[in-house]
Structure 1
Amino acid sequence: MSLEDLTIDIGLMSLLLLIGILIRAKVRMIQKLFIPASFIAGLLGLTFGPNGFGLLPFSNFIGDYPTILIAVVFAAIPLGAAKINWKEKFGRVRNMWLYSMTITLLMWPAGIVATYLFIGHIWDLPPGFGFALGAGFVGGHGTAAAVGEIFSAQGWQEITDIGYTAATVGLLAAVLGGLIIIKRNTRRKQTNFISDFQDLPSDLRTGLIRKEDRESAGHDTVSSNNVDPLFFHVAIIGAVVVVSYFLQQMLNANFPELSFPLLSLAFIIGLIAQFFLRKSKANYYVDKRTINRVGGTATDLIVVFGITSIDLAIVSEYMIPLIVLFIFGVIWAYLILHFVAVRVFHQDWFENGIFGFGWSTGTVAMGVALLRIVDPDSKSTTLDDYALGYIGMVPVEVAIITFGPVLIISGFSFPFMLSLLLIWVLLIVFASKMGWLVSKDKIEERN
């Protein structure tokens, strides 16, 4: 790969994203569906790129970017995290953690369950086929790339394209399904902060924020006459990713029979880096909002590159079982919202639940988009609770991404699936015994 390839790829993606932003700002139908610019840009890249009409001169490496970019996202998670007084926050955060764990432990094995029980009996499918649902829906394009990296090392390259397709369909399901659910529950008076779906601020529809509503993207923590504050934060994440990359190379060289996802190592190295930053008091100069902006940029690029690099020939080969798998996945995600969220959250259950639906089918960004529709003034504590609860959930997700493919390849897909479901059952029983769940009377009142 040459510097020219990198320049052209990033330049074309930037152009497509700008076109996506313009389309979102001007086309009313797109505004009504709240389709993000990254999704629009990805579809344009798929249509006019090498897997479509071939008009855009992308390099042959467009499918490799998400693997690196998802490492950026996971490296950013622990960096700059504030020290938490868990005694004050636990009573509220525990239920968001419980819901996040529910989505993780139920959505990841869902595709394997569906394939094992009925899809696999109709079509002859590879053993990791159902795992693409969790990778695409819960994980997104970057996680699909990471999971595909492991399966590809074992000779099944198609899983990456299937995972990208699942992530793309998941984004669409998050948008369309989320809007249908919101409209229905708004009519049933189950939303706390909006009474009419039409009474939404214009910035939610156009994607452009008015001057009086704008917020700071972050704080300068170092002087610009020394180094630009934005680059300072990019450099911290870049250092974590490059250390993770060399660690991955070393591990692969010493243990060639195993695969070590870069995102998993980036999260671990990020935790270690944050520990030393805090010990040395250097974390005072790390602005979490700026770190999140860098991770958010990587997420947008992941979506664009992921959709653009989908091989339509591979997708068409598995078209019918994929449709069945995706329909099952959307229904499964809705059932989690409908039956679990109402029982887990003591306040703002629908706002918390629709956020979970968004990120369990699309991405966290889509969860935020759906949340902003039902909570436009950010009166709920959903995002704060999720940010804290995610700290306790992400190690489980990293473990699933790291070891799940290995277990499936080794023929242990059923025990793997069963263990995740069993952990969830034990967790719910524990939560019930501890009095974390909502009472039956309150559930009936909500329904």
Structure 2
Amino acid sequence: MSAEMVGFSILLIGILLLIGKWIRVSFSVFQKYFLPSSIIAGFMGLLLGPEVLGALVSFFTEGSTTPVSNGLFPEEVLESWSTFPSLLISVIFASLFLGKKIPNLKDIWLLAGPQVSFGQSVAWGQYVFGLLLALIVLAPFFGINPMAGALIEIGFEGGHGTSAGLAGTFQELGFSEGADLAIGLATVGVVSGVVCGIILINWGVKKDKATILDNPNDLPENKLRGITEPEDRPIAGKMTTEPESIEPLALHMAIIGVAILIGKVLLEGLIYIESVTWGAWTDTEIMSFLPLFPLAMIGGVLLQLLLDRYDKYKLVNRKMILRIQGFALDFLIVSALATLSLTVIGNNLVPFLLLAATGIAWNTIAFVFLAPRMIPDYWFERGIGDYGQSMGMTAAGLMLIRIADSKDKSKALEAFGYKQLMFEPIVGGGLFTAASLPLISQFGIIPVLIFCTILMLIWIGIGLFYFGKK
């Protein structure tokens, strides 16, 4: 893959975003459902790619080769796009805490604790209901490996990156088809997360569950179109350095790069410690499956702590960081949606549909019934981010928060970020996500089911009887 093709891939995403914005401005149906331009652009990329347009052309031409047999995009472009999400998610998480003062652990727990309890309840519930489904239905009636019980959490909560990263583990444990099923579930999770999330936001507005977002019928026309009135346009970011010394945007991108680098060093350190300790003793690997972005977030926290202490010039501006974060999020959404794989669902269709339906049902029921009883303030705005994340993509959670509370009046984005410190290292692509397959393979499905059930009930209890009473 050449550097020229990578640059061309970025240009194509920009063009798709422009077309997506034009569609959002021109058609009220997209305004009514608050659909971001990046989502529209991503689905356009998917429709014009090999999974839809290319498949249709091949079907009607009976396999004959035509210029659009693989869609409108060259293979090198699709290959570039497929690498963007795992890179850009680190940019998003590395910037979550940069430019703001890090509060103490007590304040973090008070702010993010309700979402930690809700997010953990949903994640462990995905294991519980997935393992029950595998134990009662999938294994006895379809002959599916019991490790399929972990696929809901791996595909939905973990997402495409985790699913692809665990392909070697699936292969080594004798369940090679599990990787394809996990990626397929991640695909369904992302699509259903966006669609169901938008539906839930509109339901929340109509039923007065959403505190901040106004009824679409009451919003000005330009607000629905996603255009800020000239007199209301805020400052995008402050220039903290003189451009002749260093461009402020370049400085802030470099700061984010340092945070990611710290995260990479932490990850490699954990992998090395594992390789010379319990990994060498037990011949197991866990840390190598840990994604970079939660460590990049920790890198951002450590870097901000240093900046709080030693940066007397206050060079990092929070609004400038947010612009970079928003840029990365838009490009991530487009590239992730445009490269969704729709062809992996054909095999094991019934088990796949059962897993997908179980995951969607549990996530939605948990949001509607548990979130308002576990999150005392702004439950809708805060819970919707966890819902989006639980459906397969952390970026989807961030996007739904942006729609429900674009100005972060509820502190949902801040709490969502702090929650990751007590969430991502364990589930959602963390340690237990990586360890779940070897654990099921080694100890069987019932011990793991009991363990996950106990943890789910503990977190539900904390949410309902501790935070819910506040």
For the aligned pair, the TM-score class normalised by the smaller chain equals: 0.7 to 0.9
Please give the root-mean-square deviation of Cα atoms over the aligned residues, in Å.
Answer: 3.9
Give the Cα separation in 2 of the matches to 1:230 and 1:432.
44
Amino acid at match of 1:84: P
Q: Deviations over 1:395-434 (max 9, x none)?
A: 4446x5244224314525745554344233223445666x
TM-score normalised to structure 1 length? 0.79
Structure 1 regions of 5+ residues with no counterpart?
A: 440-447
Give the Cα separation in 1 of the matches to 2:236 and 2:139.
48
1:75 touches 1:266 (CA, 8 Å); kept in 2?
yes
Please state whether the residue corresponding to 1:63 is helix, strand or coil. Answer: helix
2:237 touches 2:319 (CA, 8 Å); kept in 1?
yes
TM-score normalised to structure 2 length? 0.76
Give the Cα separation in 2 of the matches to 1:262 and 1:417.
24
User: In structure 1, what is the equivalent of residue 74 of structure 2?
Assistant: 57
Give the Cα separation in 2 of the matches to 1:340 and 1:326.
20
Structure 2 residue 459 is the aligned partner of structure 1 residue 427: yes
User: In structure 1, what is the equivalent of residue 436 of structure 2?
Assistant: 407
Match for residue 227 of structure 1 among 243, 246, 250? 246
Give the Cα separation in 1 of the matches to 2:329 and 2:21.
16
Give the Cα separation in 2 of the matches to 1:345 and 1:117.
33
2:374 touches 2:463 (CA, 8 Å); kept in 1?
no
Give the Cα separation in 2 of the matches to 1:57 and 1:298.
23
Structure 2 residue 130 is the aligned partner of structure 1 residue 100: no
Shift of 1:366: 4.8
1:51 touches 1:308 (CA, 8 Å); kept in 2?
no
Please state whether the residue corresponding to 1:315 is helix, strand or coil. Answer: coil
Amino acid at match of 2:458: L
Match for residue 165 of structure 2 among 137, 149, 169? 149
Give the Cα separation in 1 of the matches to 2:303 and 2:9.
31
Does the C-alpha gap of structure 1 residues 311 and 426 become closer, same or farther in structure 2, counting only changes over 3 Å?
closer
1:46 touches 1:310 (CA, 8 Å); kept in 2?
yes
Amino acid at match of 1:422: I
Please state whether the residue corresponding to 1:209 is helix, strand or coil. Answer: coil
Shift of 1:106: 3.1
User: In structure 2, what is the equivalent of residue 30 of structure 1?
Assistant: 30
Structure 2 residue 342 is the aligned partner of structure 1 residue 325: no
Structure 2 residue 300 is the aligned partner of structure 1 residue 281: no
2:121 touches 2:456 (CA, 8 Å); kept in 1?
yes
Please state whether the residue corresponding to 2:99 is helix, strand or coil. Answer: coil
1:193 touches 1:374 (CA, 8 Å); kept in 2?
yes
User: In structure 1, what is the equivalent of residue 15 of structure 2?
Assistant: 15
Does the C-alpha gap of structure 1 residues 11 and 32 become closer, same or farther in structure 2, counting only changes over 3 Å?
same
2:236 touches 2:319 (CA, 8 Å); kept in 1?
yes
1:217 touches 1:290 (CA, 8 Å); kept in 2?
yes
2:155 touches 2:162 (CA, 8 Å); kept in 1?
no
Give the Cα separation in 1 of the matches to 2:256 and 2:422.
21
1:132 touches 1:163 (CA, 8 Å); kept in 2?
yes
Q: Which deviates the most, 179-188 or 296-305?
A: 179-188
Does the C-alpha gap of structure 1 residues 278 and 123 become closer, same or farther in structure 2, counting only changes over 3 Å?
farther
Does the C-alpha gap of structure 1 residues 165 and 272 become closer, same or farther in structure 2, counting only changes over 3 Å?
same
Structure 2 residue 326 is the aligned partner of structure 1 residue 296: yes
User: In structure 1, what is the equivalent of residue 338 of structure 2?
Assistant: 308
Does the C-alpha gap of structure 1 residues 224 and 211 become closer, same or farther in structure 2, counting only changes over 3 Å?
same
Q: Deviations over 1:112-157 (max 9, x none)?
A: 5544443444445466655453355445xxx421441232465488
Shift of 1:105: 3.6
2:373 touches 2:468 (CA, 8 Å); kept in 1?
yes
Q: Deviations over 1:168-211 (max 9, x none)?
A: 43344344434544555555554545785532344553233332
Q: Residues 29-428 of structure 1 correspond to what in structure 2 (within 5 A)?
A: 29-52=29-52, 53=54, 54=70, 55-59=72-76, 60-84=79-103, 91=110, 93-107=112-126, 110-125=129-144, 129=148, 131-139=150-158, 143-152=159-168, 155=171, 162=181, 165-182=184-201, 184=203, 188=207, 190-192=209-211, 196=215, 198-202=217-221, 205-242=224-261, 244-245=263-264, 251=271, 258=285, 259-263=288-292, 264-281=294-311, 284-361=314-391, 366-367=396-397, 380-397=410-427, 400-409=429-438, 411=441, 414=445, 415-416=447-448, 418-428=450-460
Q: Which deviates the most, 323-332 or 59-68?
A: 59-68
Give the Cα separation in 1 of the matches to 2:154 and 2:318.
27
Q: Deviations over 1:51-91 (max 9, x none)?
A: 44222124134323322222323333343341325666765
Q: Which deviates the most, 236-245 or 159-168?
A: 159-168
User: In structure 1, what is the equivalent of residue 66 of structure 2?
Assistant: none
Does the C-alpha gap of structure 1 residues 323 and 257 become closer, same or farther in structure 2, counting only changes over 3 Å?
same
Amino acid at match of 2:468: L
2:115 touches 2:383 (CA, 8 Å); kept in 1?
no
Q: Which deviates the most, 272-281 or 8-17?
A: 272-281
1:217 touches 1:289 (CA, 8 Å); kept in 2?
yes
Please state whether the residue corresponding to 1:145 is helix, strand or coil. Answer: helix
Please state whether the residue corresponding to 2:113 is helix, strand or coil. Answer: helix
Amino acid at match of 1:340: L
Shift of 1:7: 1.5
Residue identity (%): 27
Q: Deviations over 1:330-381 (max 9, x none)?
A: 2111211222123223344444444543443365665566567666886545
User: In structure 1, what is the equivalent of residue 468 of structure 2?
Assistant: 437
Give the Cα separation in 1 of the matches to 2:411 and 2:296.
28
Give the Cα separation in 2 of the matches to 1:203 and 1:320.
45
Amino acid at match of 2:469: V
Shift of 1:166: 3.7
Shift of 1:3: 1.0
Structure 2 regions of 5+ residues with no counterpart?
A: 55-69
Shift of 1:94: 3.3
Does the C-alpha gap of structure 1 residues 57 and 105 become closer, same or farther in structure 2, counting only changes over 3 Å?
same
Give the Cα separation in 2 of the matches to 1:161 and 1:21.
33
Does the C-alpha gap of structure 1 residues 208 and 219 become closer, same or farther in structure 2, counting only changes over 3 Å?
same
Please state whether the residue corresponding to 1:313 is helix, strand or coil. Answer: coil
Amino acid at match of 2:437: I
